[in-house]
A = this chain, B = another copy of it.
Amino acid sequence: MTSPRSAPRTARERVRAQLTAEIVDVARTHLATAGAAALSLRAVARELGMVSSAVYRYFPSRDDLLTRLIVEGYDALGEAVELAEAAAPREDLLGRWHAACGAARSWALAHPHEYALLYGSPVPGYSAPQDTIAPAGRVAIVLARVVSDGLASGAVAPPPGDDAQVMAPGLLGELGLPDDTGLGGRLVLAWSSLFGAIGFELFGHTHNVVVAHEEHFRSVTTRLAAEVGLPA
């Protein structure tokens, strides 16, 4: 069988990989300034000084380019959150939680259009392929690990309730969480609330409502931490 060529060998392959990356970079810039709806293959090609049809050597369609941007967006956000959480002392569960949540918010504020692409309205006519699923889960996994670590060390006491009927079977086990307590549901609550709070701030719904956004966000994440049982 042909070995899967992980790194480009020939000069041609190297050039190809580099130009592919350049296309994605330019596309991301356009996305960042004009939003997903305004992203056009022709504009990207124009900026790269090539003819629009040439882009089709690299991406079979506009949707494939979009998918790439979505995957890279989830990965960029996920990595930012993972790095922030990893930088906090392992025993400081609340510190890890805040680091993760704060990194998500910071990334969103720094990349509003990318954030909107990931967590805003679904792009019309576009349906997310399999490749986006794993990257999309990275933030949730970080949050779950903080909780499961607390559970393992005894710092987190499982709240009453039973997730078995609510959560997808097997998922909680993979995350190191019991499925006969209310923890799973609470974690999903915290997860969706985190992005609810970020989205509300970013999309202006709390404009003229909240004046100190950072302080408010901090107290929101503090309460979400309490929801999932992290000790104060």
Contacts from A to B (Cβ < 8 Å): 34-38, 116-117, 119-122, 124, 128, 133, 136, 140, 161, 165-169, 171, 182, 185-186, 188-189, 191-197, 199-200, 203-206, 208-212, 215-216, 219-220, 223, 227
Known: A166-B212, A171-B208, A223-B227. 8 other contacts (CB 8 A): A116-B120, A116-B122, A128-B204, A168-B209, A168-B211, A188-B200, A192-B196, A192-B205
Determine if B124 and A121 form an interchain contact, defined as CB atoms under 8 angstroms apart: no
CB distance from A203 to the nearest CB of B (A): 6
Residue in B117, B122, B195 whose beta carbon sits within 8 Å of that of A196 in the complex:
B195
List of B residues within 8 angstroms of A166 by Cβ: 210-212, 215-216, 219
Q: What chain B residues lie within 8 Å of A124 (beta carbons)?
A: 34-35, 37-38
Is B219 within 8 A of A185, CB to CB? yes
Of A122, A136, A206, A209, most buried by chain B (CB within 10 Å of CB) is A209
> Which 3 residue pairs across A and B have the least CB separation, nearest first?
A196-B196, A120-B121, A193-B193
Cβ distance A172 to chain B, nearest Cβ, rounded Å: 10
Contact A193 B189 (CB under 8 A): yes
Nearest-neighbor residue (CB-CB) of A187 within chain B: B209
- Contact A200 B209, CB 8 Å, known A34-B124, A37-B37, A189-B223: no
B182, B196, B220: which contacts A199 (Cβ < 8 A)?
B196
User: Contact at A168–B215, with CB atoms within 8 Å?
Assistant: no
What is the CA–CA distance of A169 and B209 in the complex, to the nearest angstrom? 9
Residues in chain B near residue A121, CB distance under 8 A: 35-36, 116-117, 120-121, 203
